[in-house]
Amino acid sequence: MSVDQLVKKIKEKGNPSVAGLDPRVEYVPEHIRERAYREYGKTLKGAAEAIWEFNKGLIDALYDVVPAVKPQSAFYEMYGLPGEEVLHRTIQYAKEKGLYVILDVKRNDIGSTAAAYSAAYLGRVDIDGAEAEPCPVDSITVNPYLGTDGIQPFVDDCIKYDKSIFVLARTSNPSSGELQMLYSGEKMIFEHVAALIDKWNEGTVGENGYGAVGAVVGATHADDAKIMRSILKRAYFLVPGYGAQGGGLEGVSRCFNDDGLGAIVNSSRGIMCAYKKSDRGGEAFADAARTEAVRMKEEITSIIK
């Protein structure tokens, strides 16, 4: 199963973290932006090409440190078609470097539309008898709000094409509790989602004991992460909220199982923008990102059993 590939890469690098590639053009060092603007102008194309050079430098600096990267689709879509082309270029380059790629798209809809989304990101499409893969990622994030018929197409494609998904469960944003902590019966909504994730994982568990259906569980909610972990022994957790969003080591530690596995912790701005805290400035953005990724690795591994 795809999750076994993720576990293998985590073990090889001794690092349960993922670098988020969520670039705004203002995050890109000035010298890269100016070079792109000279060639393409201050246009969508210019911004996208600056982001591409930034991403490539980050991947080159990180691929032997982190097991995975997580591009957030919105930060590419906002630059139009040039941005989306750079997203696909980034995915392909990360795959060439041996990285596990989690595309953060948070898709879902009614059954037939969910199936189309799943084909777009996890599966294949039929073109008059010829089969094509639109987006060669390993995993995507999905929204569970529509229930089982909105999730099942993704699960089916995970099994068919050896992929994985991470279902939004207890997210790191401040207002998440407005819905996720409402009670339905004796349990909160996020607990009901956890029970569904465990059900959706049936028949997908790989050799390491984890299924293709994971959960997004924020590091900003330590007590809730503990509850989620108690329900979901066989689901991998994608853990946002570490670093820039305020999530600390306590919340992170609650996301791991006793085997030292079960979670991969994301940092986006903390790694991408590490150069802004460096005396060397933007010219050393790649070195600064690598230094922060190594620091993060050492910090997280220090609290895993």
Q: Report, as residue numbers or ranges, the catalytic residues.
A: 106
Question: How far apart are alpha carbons 263 and 111 in whole angstroms?
Answer: 29
On whether the CB atoms of residues 219 and 225 are closer than 8 A, the answer is yes
Tokens representing 191 are 């607990």
On whether the CB atoms of residues 104 and 70 are closer than 8 A, the answer is yes
Secondary structure of residue 56 in the 3-state scheme: helix
Q: What would the 3-class secondary structure string for 160-224 be? A: HHCCEEEEEEECCCHHHHHHHCCEECCEEHHHHHHHHHHHHCCCCCCCCCCCCEEEEECCCCHHH
Question: Which residue type, as a one-letter code, is found at position 56?
Answer: K
Tokens representing 119 are 């084909």
On whether the CB atoms of residues 82 and 41 are closer than 8 A, the answer is no
- Give me the torsion for CA of 30, 33, 38, 42, rounded to 10°: -120
Nearest to 45 by CA among 6, 83, 101, 93: 83
DSSP-assigned letter for residue 26: G
Question: How far apart are alpha carbons 87 and 93 in whole angstroms?
Answer: 10
- For 255, phi and psi rounded to 5 degrees? -90, -15
